[in-house]
Chains A and B, each alone.
Chain A
Amino acid sequence: MTVKAHIKRHDTDILILGTGGAGLFGALHALQSAPMHTKVTIAVKGLIGKCGCTRMVQGGYNVALGNGDTVERHFMDTINGGKWLPNQDMAWRLCTEAVTRIHELENEIGCYFDRNPDGTVHQKAFAGQTADRTVHKGDLTGIEIISRLMEQVLARPVEKLQEHRAIGLIPTVDGSALSGVLFIDMRSGEFHFVRAKAVLMATGGGPTMYKYHTPSGDKTMDGLAMAMRLGLPVRDMEMVQFHPTGLLAGDHTRMTGTVLEEGLRGAGGHLVNHQGNRFMFDYSDRGERATRDVVSRGIYAEMRKNNDPSQVGMFISMSHLGPDNVRKKFAGMVKRCEDSGFDLAAGQVEVVPTAHYFMGGVVVDAETRTSLEGLYVAGEDAGGAHGSNRLGGNGVANSTVFGGIAGDNMGLDIRKMRALRDPDETVLQAELDRALYPLSKPTGNLHQLRQNLQEAMWDDVGVMRTRAGLERGLQRIADIKAELLETGVNGDNLGFNMTWHDWMNLSSLLDVSDVICRAALSRENSRGAHYREDFPEPGSLENSYFTVARQDGDTVDVKHENVEFTIVRPGETILPEGEPETLVGEHA
């Protein structure tokens, strides 16, 4: 290694990685709970509030606000939806705290959610819910939440490190606590080490290692990759949620994989194959209105029947509902398709299942604390709240609830932490070398390697899995990893060098893909988002386990831990006797 780099160093009290719902709430709550004059720093890979996925939430925010709905009912739906794998204490915390958080969003942050004619908040039911529970702002709920949160944080005395990419969590020499975080200031290409008493990791998941994916393009699971390098346990890593209808527009466009909203199927949209025939009733008696996982598998199975390589996806067809009606009801979606060259209202749009959300994440408790002192994890980086499947509307509830909890706890905990901790300089140097590594290798076709990984994950670790496929996937990932280590980047100008970051993006994705694959191999049953064709049964609910993976150097160990039914056991409910199973009428 010939490249020498200087590291700028500075200190803060509370450091937050990420500016989605979790990071921004973490910052606001830390300012509220911490002692006066506490320094809070927020760092993000893109621009504050603009990168990441909270902004892209269409559906809304699940919260029980009465009218027959209760926290208990929300909790039972979350447990059932997660197929009994959620950490029940986290799920309970999610459902109870969501009530406070939605009031905070309205009253303190300044959001305005859609109302009923009498002025009360409007709520609707998503698939898997037994009550009208989802608070929303049209179908652009995420924009309302993130814009209001962003402006609150911009207006406060928070140190802002934009376009600062975290590349390493740096522990103390004895490994018992976190010292700080190593960054690259992406604009200048300089390294920057920030010590902090408490760090919230809220970088978001985002399974962009799949050929088709919905999350924003900046997301590459850097947080989980960093946590794994530190040897922190991660759970439910096999659980990747696919959204059934991603846009298919070709390999050359970034539009491919982006979501065509759930509501299209709910409103009566048809899914048809290349012969123009509907097929979903071959897979479910709910047809197109089945849950995300079922429809994704239906489309995937239908795609496999197709032998013509020029015909890849299936089609969503809305025109039988009347093109004008569709244009009116789904104005945003029709416009987005039109901008990209597709006619959703009167024509057909080719779709494909697309990787959407990552249920897996760092093992945390319901207070967002990890096994490492000083490190807190919230949002999509944390595992446990959703188990094997996330209900629509529970994602933004999760990030905002636990981001706030992390902020509260960090503000309180730092009162007991008198001094900043010194970093293990060896780890710091190793992370620096890791980032500089590609600059010393001959350049190559990085983009092709990313595509190779995305193909491998889609083919072998995707919607439907088998042992043979997963083993092949593992090998393909290892081969691409080896190729990446021989592929370099031109480092003449490190300022805003996107190709350098592409290299690090791919490196993060490869590390996480490997663990997804190993966890998927170890779970020999089918639960929620994880489907094994060779083990199609869900296994005993009573003996439910979750996977916990831990990286140690180059090896990864996957273990099973029994789910602790701390609140409710399979076959039981915490709803009062005589409560109806659902409060939602079957929608026409």
Chain B
Amino acid sequence: MPREFVISGLRLFWSTAIMNEGFSEAPQRLVEDKKDTILSMTNETTKMSVKVWRGDKSSGSYQTFEVPRQENQTVLDVVTWIQQTQDPNLSYRFACRVGMCGSCAMMVNGAPRWTCRTHVNKVLDGDTLEVAPLRNLPVIKDLVADMDPFFDKWVDAGGHHAPSASRYDDMPKISSDEPERAEANKSIECINCAVCYAACDTVAQNPDYLGPAALQRAWTLLNDKKVDDHDAVLEKVSGKGGCHNCHSQGSCTLYCPNGLDPMRAIAGLKSATIKRALKRGG
């Protein structure tokens, strides 16, 4: 029962409304961001109760720590404090500290988040916090998830540029205002943190599904004029684990910490692959 904890972590996703494909506006967050409280918190020395998932790929359970609250405190700081002062054996992963590398995402009170950019006040539930490794990925140890399946799918979805020009050619003149480029730019700042992958119920139910981030990368390639073979891009995302598995539940868009909209990108892929199929058929 290695991933039992995830089931309880899911409670926030099950209630996600099924949305139509045409839904473009970001839906209301299920986990409300309490922004006012972040800025107004007084420096009372209070404690919070933090449940931390401990274990490895075979088994595990939650362990509770009492952690002092601080005025400026992220979930990453909480985990760090536990490792540095309470339990030197606690494992977690982080790198940049500022929301650029996507190494530190975890399940926080059941929702996937960058821990480095999540202020405790934003997510504290009463005085409790629950931290677990990212959903939909194997556990390495404690809060560290194995991200290899996520990146394998990035590769499987054809997620890299296939060059048709070389370093000795001029750079193509492509204005940032051209519609295709503007479309690609909307999705290009993905930092591959796997928050969307952890949020996705389709990934949870279908291990072959490529998932939102990888498909979104394919969408940027489809809109990239520098890519010659758009047919090859579509071919990669039309198969068994491809874009048509998506049920447009929208958790990817809901939880993307960068404010990107993978659901919309996947809808774009679906439409393009259907057009391509019709063209071929006709």
Contact = CB atoms under 8 A, between A and B. Distances in A.
Interface of A: 46-48, 50-52, 55-56, 100-104, 106-110, 112, 114-121, 138, 140, 142-144, 147-148, 150-152, 154-155, 162, 187, 216-218, 249-250, 252-255, 258-259, 336, 338-343, 443, 446-447, 489-490, 492-493, 495-499
Nearest to A152: B160
Contact of B72 (A103, A250, A338): A250
A51 B91 CA distance: 16
A241 B109 CA distance: 40
Contacts of B232: none
B173 A120 contact: yes
A340 B72 CA distance: 7
Contacts of A142: 100
B243 interface: no
Contact of A50 (B38, B103, B176): B103
A6 B142 CA distance: 25
Nearest to B152: A154
B76 A254 contact: yes
A339 B118 contact: yes
Interface of B: 35, 38-39, 41, 56, 70-74, 76-77, 80-81, 83-85, 88-103, 116-119, 121-122, 140-142, 144, 147-148, 151, 154-155, 159-161, 163, 165-177, 181, 184-185, 188-192, 217, 224, 226-227
Which of A117, A155, A252, A341 neighbours the largest number of chain B CB atoms within 10 Å of its CB? A341
Given A55-B96, A151-B217, A252 B177 contact: no
A51 B98 contact: no
Contact of B84 (A48, A342, A447): A447
Given A112-B226, A147-B191, A258 B98 contact: yes
B256 to A, nearest CB: 13
Contacts of A110: 160-161, 163, 224, 226-227
A254 B89 contact: no
A100 B119 contact: no
Given A155-B160, A495-B141, A255 B72 contact: yes
Contacts of B142: 496
Given A56-B100, A341-B71, A143 B189 contact: yes
A51 B154 contact: no
B84 A107 contact: no
B167 A104 contact: yes
B171 A341 contact: no
Given A108-B163, A142-B100, A217-B95, A490 B224 contact: no
A492 B87 CA distance: 12
Contact of B100 (A55, A254, A343): A55
Given A107-B163, A108-B163, A218-B95, A489 B74 contact: no
19 contacts: A46-B95, A50-B101, A107-B166, A108-B161, A112-B174, A112-B188, A144-B188, A151-B217, A162-B148, A250-B71, A254-B76, A255-B98, A255-B116, A338-B38, A490-B89, A492-B89, A495-B91, A496-B91, A499-B88
A117 B175 CA distance: 6
B88 A489 contact: yes
Contacts of A255: 72, 74, 77, 97-98, 116
A477 B122 CA distance: 40
B99 A118 contact: no
A59 B200 CA distance: 34
A134 B112 CA distance: 36
Given A112-B185, A255-B97, A339-B74, 18 more contacts: A46-B93, A46-B103, A47-B103, A106-B226, A108-B167, A110-B160, A112-B174, A150-B192, A154-B154, A217-B94, A218-B95, A249-B72, A250-B70, A253-B72, A254-B77, A336-B99, A493-B89, A499-B88
A496 B56 CA distance: 11
B151 A154 contact: yes
A106 B71 contact: no
Shortest beta-carbon contacts, A-B, top 9: A110-B161, A119-B173, A104-B167, A499-B88, A496-B91, A151-B160, A107-B165, A249-B72, A51-B95
A109 B173 CA distance: 17
A385 B158 CA distance: 37
A347 to B, nearest CB: 9
B95 A498 contact: no
A114 B176 contact: yes
A47 B92 CA distance: 13
Contact of B74 (A104, A107, A340): A340
A395 to B, nearest CB: 15
B133 to A, nearest CB: 11
Given A110-B224, A119-B173, A255-B74, A100 B151 contact: no
Nearest to B41: A341
Contacts of A102: 171
Contact of A498 (B91, B96, B224, B226): B91
Nearest to A51: B95
Contact of B173 (A118, A140, A162, A490): A118
Given A108-B163, A142-B100, A253 B74 contact: yes
B17 to A, nearest CB: 26
A490 B171 contact: no
Contacts of A249: 72
Contacts of A108: 161, 163, 165-167
Contacts of A253: 70, 72-74, 77
Given A112-B184, A119-B175, A143-B189, A339 B99 contact: yes
Contacts of B189: 138, 140, 143-144
Given A144-B188, A250-B72, A489-B88, A55 B101 contact: yes
A252 B192 contact: no
Nearest to A492: B89
A467 to B, nearest CB: 34
Nearest to B217: A151
Contact of A252 (B70, B122, B166, B184): B70
Nearest to B96: A216
A56 B163 contact: no
Contacts of A343: 39
Given A112-B188, A155-B155, A340 B119 contact: yes
A447 B84 CA distance: 6
A496 B141 contact: yes
A188 B31 CA distance: 36
A474 B11 CA distance: 55
A367 to B, nearest CB: 19
B42 to A, nearest CB: 12
Which of B81, B100, B147, B155 neighbours the largest number of chain A CB atoms within 10 Å of its CB? B100
A508 to B, nearest CB: 17
B85 to A, nearest CB: 7
Contacts of A341: 38-39, 41, 71-72, 119, 121
